[in-house]
């Protein structure tokens, strides 16, 4: 299976799970996570660069260290929200308090509780995604 097909299958699994509202059913959410774990294991075993996968997603990916300092955002983050330069190296709490970033509610809980928290959320945007096309 080539990398693009594998990425597309992961995206479709996530999209389908959101449409079915699997996040409301702990068993369905667990099944989705186990399936995605198997897919990521395939990427790892096949030598697929996870960054290539994350960079190809249309959904924003936002990664912080344990204190909540932003270490990485994927290219979709720029299209969907704000410029990477506005968040990289900054504390998530500060950015959220400014009102320029919505994290789906889990990021601050993870930082505060210092443990894994699974929360799948869908954000309806009022404004269209940013575009580099004039």
Digit-coded pLDDT (tens) for 64-101: 888 888 888 888 888 877 788 888 999 988 888 887 76
**Beta carbons within 8 Å of 42's beta carbon, 6+ residues apart:** 1, 6, 48
> Following DSSP, what letter does each residue of 14-71 receive, concatenated?
HHHHHHHTGGGSHHHHHHHHHHHHHHHHHHHHTT--HHHHHHH-SS--EEE-TT-BEE
| Rounded CA separation 70/66 (Å) | 10
pTM over the 0.85 mark: no
CB 29 within 8 A of CB 38: no
Domain boundaries, the chain: 3-56, 62-113
């Amino acid at each position: 299976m080539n990398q693009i097909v594998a990425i597309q299958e992961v995206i479709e699994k996530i999209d389908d799970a959101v449409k079915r509202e699997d996040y409301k059913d702990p068993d369905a959410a667990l099944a989705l996570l186990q399936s995605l774990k198997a897919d990521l294991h395939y990427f790892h075993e096949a030598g697929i660069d996870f960054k290539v996968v994350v960079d190809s997603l249309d959904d924003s990916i936002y990664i912080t260290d344990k204190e909540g300092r932003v270490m990485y955002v994927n290219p979709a983050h720029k299209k969907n929200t704000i410029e990477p330069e506005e968040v990289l190296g900054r504390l998530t709490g500060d950015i959220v308090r400014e009102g320029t970033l919505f994290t789906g509610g889990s990021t601050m809980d993870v930082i505060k509780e210092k443990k894994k928290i699974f929360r799948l959320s869908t954000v309806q945007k009022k404004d269209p995604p940013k575009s580099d096309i004039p």
